[in-house]
Structure 1
């Protein structure tokens, strides 16, 4: 069995840390919602994502 040394190096998983931060933001937003469900739009706002529609213009779904 391999065990990390006591003075070992710290490994940072930046993707995991980002996911944990986003989960925290969702928890904060849900707590502030006073028992109501978060809408999909509110979740997108908290996570700072877009559905691809900017200014009423749809994205071209024929291209990846």
Structure 2
């Protein structure tokens, strides 16, 4: 995720919410996977889209998720 989205609240100024942006990106990836699937996504498919195994491996290796 290289790009940063900035949101201007009502009071002015810019707010960057990297966690929210990451969640939106993951939701988009799930929507794309679900729309391409012939039926409901399995739990394994969802884990693959969300890169659960990669995050667990990085965490186990001492990397920050």
1:3-54 residue CA offsets vs partner (Å, 9 max, x unmatched): 51xxx321011001000100000000000003x010111101100002x6x8
> Which structure has the bigger radius of gyration?
1
Q: Which has the higher contact order (CA 8 A, sep 6+)?
A: 1
Alignment gaps of 5+ in structure 2 = 1-9, 58-65
Aligned alpha-carbon RMSD (Å): 1.8
When normalised by structure 2's length, the TM-score is: 0.62
When normalised by structure 1's length, the TM-score is: 0.63
> Structure 1 segments of 4 or more deviating over 2 A?
none
Tell me how many residue pairs correspond in the alignment: 46
